[in-house]
Structure formats: structure tokens, C-alpha cells
Amino acid sequence: MKAKQIFGALLIAVAGGLVAVYAYTRFASPHVQFLSANPASLSYTSANYADSSSGATSTSGMMLPDFTQAAEMSVNAVVNVRTVTRETSPQSIMDYLFGYQPQQYIVEGIGSGVVISADGYIVTNNHVIEGSNQIRVTMNDKREFDARVIGADPNTDLALLKIDASGLPFLVLGNSDALRVGEWVIAVGNPFNLTSTVTAGIVSAKARDVGIIKERNGRQRQMAPQDYWRYQFRGRQGMGQDPQTSLSLESFIQTDAAINNGNSGGALVNIRGELVGVNTAIASRTGDFSGTSFAIPASLVKKVVSDLIEFGAVQRALLGVGLDEINSDAALKAGVKRTDGVFIAEVYSNSAAEKAQIKNGDVVLAINGIRVNSETAFREQIGRYRPNDEVTVLLVRGDREMTVKARLQSVDGSTEIVRLGDIEKELGAKFAVLSADDKQTLGVRNGVRVEDLRPGKLSSVGVRRGFVITRINDVAVNSAEDISRELGKVAPRGRVVMDGVYQNGQVAYYVFAK
């Protein structure tokens, strides 16, 4: 009898565990993640499928979509992107105190990219290539090329590569604004390193903000252990996230096309074979596709690529307003009765919005004729313009619709275009991106090397050639664009603190007036 009771209790426990596992996988919140992958971490499961073929019509006689032409146009223009990154094992404070050297290891990553010009420009995700020492691109016809980075933008998770080739098949950028919910699209990429994979689905939603880019940028800008202790000794904590994370721009196209690890940077294509998005992330409880995926719209891709080619830096334009949803407490308190548009909760001083006489409590309905019904849609529309561009804003004030024109400004409040050459001229220095090997040797997570010096601000305060700038005013920098952005936040004659390290390990910092 006692054995039966024990056996019964055991069965109940097992059943309860199975129910709990099912409930978790069925109802737990999905985890949003990027799609690049390390091949060594992938596992494969074989499955048998019944062989079936479908005709051009359904059983009800309705015509089914034909993806063959779009697929043929896409597979040859989507490439496999392989990266090699040399990394070191994590170090503890004890390692720094006793001088233990970290172990080195190599990480290989896989992703996808889209050829957007016959002469070898390729767009992919920033997180696919970030920090890599080597990038290798493989075409669908098995040709391989070494790729170099033209530029990258962590705030949109886009990067532009270039290979030395000509006459390449490429995809034309389509109009992502014209996409409609329910429209058929195909996803082309290299999931699990399976090249030239095509899947189909529909547009599930537009202008999705899932917070993944902002979250990732914030994590990556946390201070390194050696920087933490150095700032402690100087009485400056310096912890927290980079203010740049507020510039992160997400306005994803959501689809149900099957996408998995390795699809990052691949193409989202409409039925006409036009590139309408760059696949970036999935929402999943298991780490694999479960019905929800996200792509960067072609409108933002076009803007970022154009900026990187023309200026070497992405141009950030701002209207200068604080937003809230139309159904927010602030909007209801202000007496807003509309159900469409975006509520202006605050107009910043000296901003483009203030100069255009936009007021607190206004409701923005459209930017340059494109309707905006959420903060995300609003940011996407503004994000495709440059400082000094003029936009037409359709808004409602009280019960009256009106149109105003606003000239957009940069982060520092000017209307000037940021060029990498401008900051080099201002500081009297030429800058070089710090490679992953250099970071490892110096024991830093980020930095920009002073490659050459001319008479200017840096030489006047004693900076020597080879100095690696790691932080400006406590904000990590990784490029000349970052330096320009941070200096742009400083008022004229304001104080600039530049931290860094020399090749011999000497830590130094310099202070000068802008």
C-alpha cells in the first residue's frame, strides 16, 4: 500500500512538472533577440516531411501568390557574411591586481547581407560585424571576397560594407512606406548557415519599437573594470548608460516570415522583388523562430546608407519635442479628444519645433504627408531627414487643423551637416578606428587612435601621436563620429575632458575649452 502511495505521488509530481513546462512555453513573454549566430552553438534536428506540391490556385479557386520571380531576383543578391573576432576571457579585479593575463580565443559569427549596388556595396546589421577582426562575404555563386566597413550606425543597427567587385546582382530599395499590413513578403538569408534560404509570410504590423537596440547599446557602453577603478580614484563614478542610447531608432516592420539565427542582415522583399527591409530580430521563447520577426524598413536603410557614403557619418535630425501617446494621461488631461496622431507633451527651448511655433498640447497628425499615429512612427519619419531639412507638419491645435514648416536641427541645436573631416580639422588630428586586436592589447573596450597631429587643440594641450581616446566627458567613443557628437554637446568655450591611454599603457587625460 505504501509503495502504491509513493508511486501515485511520483506520477502527480511528474504530471505537475509537465503542466508547468507547457504553461511556461505557451504563455511566458517572448524574448526579443538579434539573429546573428556562432556556428559552433547551433544544433540540428532531422525531420521527415511529406512531399507535396501546390498548384497556382487554392481549393477554392482563388489565385495564390507567386514568389518565384522575387525569389530568383533575391537569392543572388543576398550574401553570407562570416566574421572572425579575437576576444579575451573575462578578467576579475584580482586579475588586474596580480597581473594575470587573460586567455585569448577566436569567435566566428555568421549573418547575412544584401548587395545594393553592382559595384559591391552591401548593407547588413551593425551587430553582425561589430568588433570583428575579419569579414568575409560569400556570394550565392560561391565567390568569396574580403569586405571592409564603410561605416556603421549602432542607433539603427545598420552597417555598410564594400567589396572589390563589379557587375554584381543587386536589389533595388523599395518603398517601405507603401507596405500594407497583410501584404505578402519573403525573407532571404542564411539561417543556421544554410545559404540562400527563402521563406514567405505577411506584414503583421509596422512601426514596432521593441527596445532591443537601445537595450544593447546601453549594455555595451557600461564601463570596463579598469576604467571603473580609475574613475573611483579620481572621485568620478562615471557609471551608467551613454546618453546616445536616447537616439536609438526602432520602427520595425513585423512579419511572420520564418527567420532564425544567421538571418541578421538579410533581405525582406516584396512580391515585386524590391528590398523593403533588412531582417534584424525575432521574438522567441526558445531562441528559434516562433512566428514574430522584425526588419528595419527600407526608408531608414536608404537614409543611413546615403549618409555613410556621402558624409562618412549618419546625420541626426531632431524636431525638439517630448512626445506622448494620444491616449496618455497628459493628453486626456489636456482635453484631447482625437484618437489619431501623437501628443506634444513638451516643446524644447530653442528647438526647431519652438521656432516653428509648435505648442505644448498640439497633436501631430503627419510629417510631410505621412501619417503618424505613434511615437515610433513619428521618430521614423523625422529620422529619415538631415539637419537643415525643412519638413511640413500637419497638426491639430484645439479643434483646428493647421500646417507649419520646421527646419530640423542636429543634436547640438545647429543646422550644420556633420562631416568626419570637420572634427579632424577642428582638433588638428587625424583619427583611426581601434581594431579588436588593439583593444585587447591595451585592455580597453573602446577607443579612437590619434593617427596624426597638426597644430590644433590636441597638440596645444600636450596630446602625442598614438594616444587612444577612450572617453570624452565620461562618454565612451569608438569613432571620429562619436568624438564629433560628444563635442557637439558642449557649449562654446565649455570644458572638455578627454580620457585615454598610450601604447605603453600610460593612462592620461587632457582638459581643454571647446
Residue 352 lies in a domain: yes
- 174 and 256 assigned to the same domain: yes
- CATH of residue 435's domain is 2.30.42.10
- 362, 385, 407 - which closes a domain: 407
φ/ψ region of 505 (left if φ > 0, alpha if ψ in -120 to 50, else beta) reads left
- 292, 311, 330 - which closes a domain: 311
Catalytic residue list: 127, 157, 264
Residue 263 lies in a domain: yes
From residue 29, alpha-carbon distances to 24, 32, 77, 120, 280 in Å are: 9, 10, 35, 40, 19
- 311, 329, 352 - which closes a domain: 311
- CATH of residue 74's domain is 2.40.10.120
- 87 and 194 assigned to the same domain: yes
Straight-line distance from the first to the last Cα atom of the chain, in angstroms, rounded to the nearest whole number: 86
Angle between helix axes 480-488 and 420-427 (nearest 10 degrees) is 70
Question: What amino acid is encoded at 373 in this protein?
Answer: N
- 504 and 433 assigned to the same domain: yes
- 94 and 165 assigned to the same domain: yes
- 187 and 289 assigned to the same domain: yes
- 350 and 488 assigned to the same domain: no
**DSSP secondary structure letters along 304-366:** HHHHHHHHSSPPP-B--EEEE-TTSHHHHHTT---SSSEEEEEE-TTSHHHHTT--TT-EEEE
Question: What amino acid is encoded at 203 in this protein?
Answer: V
- 331 and 477 assigned to the same domain: no
Residue 239 lies in a domain: no
- 269 and 357 assigned to the same domain: no
Q: What is the pLDDT at residue 498?
A: 92
Residue 496 lies in a domain: yes
- 85 and 171 assigned to the same domain: yes
By residue range, what is the domain housing residue 503? Answer: 420-513
Paired with 80 in beta bridges are 112, 138
Residue 243 lies in a domain: no
From residue 14, alpha-carbon distances to 9, 19, 23, 435 in Å are: 9, 9, 14, 53
Rg over alpha carbons for the chain, rounded to the nearest Å, is 26
- 325 and 307 assigned to the same domain: no
- 82 and 165 assigned to the same domain: yes
Residue 232 lies in a domain: no
Question: What amino acid is encoded at 278 in this protein?
Answer: V
Residues 190 and 197: their CA atoms lie apart, in Å, by: 6
Q: Give the total number of structural domains in the chain.
A: 3
- 341 and 287 assigned to the same domain: no
**DSSP secondary structure letters along 228-293:** HHHHHHTT----S--GGGGG----EEEE-S---TT-TT-EEEETTS-EEEEEEEEEESSSS--SEE
Residue 89 lies in a domain: yes
Q: What is the pLDDT at residue 403?
A: 96
Residues 448 and 500: their CA atoms lie apart, in Å, by: 9
pLDDT one digit per residue (tens) for the chain, 514 residues: 555 555 555 556 555 655 555 554 444 456 777 776 665 554 443 333 333 333 455 555 566 788 999 999 999 999 999 998 766 555 555 555 555 555 667 788 899 999 999 999 999 998 898 777 788 999 999 999 999 888 888 889 999 999 999 999 999 999 998 999 999 999 999 888 778 899 999 999 998 888 777 776 655 443 333 333 333 333 222 222 333 335 678 889 999 998 888 889 999 999 999 999 999 987 777 666 777 889 999 999 999 999 988 887 788 899 999 999 888 888 888 888 888 999 999 999 999 999 999 999 999 999 999 999 988 899 999 999 999 999 999 999 988 999 999 999 987 778 887 776 677 777 878 888 887 788 888 889 899 999 877 766 887 788 888 999 999 988 899 888 888 888 877 765 678 889 999 988 888 889 887 7
Predicted TM-score (pTM) of the model is: 0.70
